Amino acid sequence: MSKEETQVCKWCGREFSIFEYGISSYNQKRRTVCKACYSERRREKQLQLKLADGLEKYNNGELVKIRRKYKKPYHFQILYRSESSIDSIAKDEVFVRLLDYKSAWISNYGRLIQQLDDGTYQLVKGVRSRTTKELTYTLNRNVYFKSKDRWGYKKERVNACDLVIQMFVVNYDMKHNTMVWHKNNDTNDNYYKHLFPVTDKQYRESLRVHEQDGAVTSKQIINIVNAVEFKPDDWKPWHNKRTYEGVGYVGAESSDIDSESCSFIKWKNMIQRCYNKKVHKLKPYYMDKNVCVEWQNYQNFKIWFDAHYIPGTKVDLDKDLLCKESNMYSPETCSFLTHYINTVFEERGIKSSITPNGNNIYSVSISILDKKIDLGIYDTEESAKQGLIDGKIKYIKELAESCKGKVQDYVYEAMLRYEI
């Protein structure tokens, strides 16, 4: 029996059968590198070409870059002085509701108000962290307890600057932006226009420039944030490519995304609902709807999703309950509702009926997903119309009470204050 002919790979130095070496299409001779090394080098070359092309597009502005943007609070979020009786420290100070925390409002200056059990409001002093010197607050966060199958509260210590950024500053990359740069590196300054969400690398570079020059400008910080050398280690330019309806981007390698996951399906459907022309032809009421800048990045949406979704439940992503006048899908306006409850709060969801039965008798009812609910009988058309309004309000309040503990408190509270 003849010995099998072998060859040593020029690149890895291992010895293989000659059949582990491909034939060159250039000269039809057997290659001097094994198939594994050849394939690996080819993949590396393709990746480098893809990376070079991606960097060119990124530098040319074809892919998502960070721009300094602020959030404008909605009316329903704001706690006005006329209600709290707490004076502002500046003309532009505004307190907005922290939906995920119990009765708490953060201002764009980093001050916090809480409502006490007796209904009064108080300014919370907060505590300075010994290590970071950051102002912190201890709050009760509304979380789902699997063992109880109910929403309840869990104490959580939170930095004031993180709360300010959450409510007032657009954060393009919540997953990687784990640090906050304060203007002049002054942790006493929590004014929203002086705070920048950054990665650890970007923070260190901002600090280096500040120590070198004595200051670092807003423009310099944005340049640092957008500079490739200060991006996260796993960052690639195509992570920021708007591949979904020219708006949405996944913020990671496509191979790392579970396209069958509930979070991704919800996100993709939201993007399509707002920006797909075929959807708009079938459902024109979505034509003026938009997705906020933060949620255009799937990674940001997933963080919110994971904090608010109860695994295994069938729910709709609703944006109408909290704010009727909003056309925006965002963490400030959205909640998860069962399809039935979601239908109740849609303008087209409840079908109303006032039926004259003769002898000046009017039957009043509403219908939700083909479920008829009788609201009473009235002897005048005018009283029937008022009965319809009162009946809807009563039904919604009863529905809210039946949901208490089964939905987040901010959803329950929004149901109670919903106006017909």
Question: What are the pLDDT digits (tens) for 29-72?
Answer: 888 899 999 888 888 888 787 888 878 888 888 889 999 999 99
Stretch 200-216: mean pLDDT, rounded? 97
Does 306 score more than 60 pLDDT?
yes
pLDDT at 75 exceeding the cut of 50: yes
Report the percentage of the chain scoring pLDDT > 90: 69
Question: Residue 162, exposed/middle/buried by CB under 10 A (0-12, 13-18, 19+)?
Answer: buried
Q: Cα angle vertex 287, ends 285, 292, to 5°? A: 115
What is the phi/psi pair of residue 416, to 5°? -65, -35
CA–CA distance, 356 with 366 (Å, rounded to integer): 15
Residue 1 has pLDDT above 50, yes or no: no
Query: How confident is the prediction for the chain on average, in pLDDT?
Result: 93
Is the pLDDT at 347 greater than 80, yes or no?
A: no
Instruction: Provide the 10 A C-beta neighbour count for residue 418.
Output: 19
**Predicted confidence (pLDDT) per residue in 235-258, tens digit:** 999 999 999 999 999 999 988 999
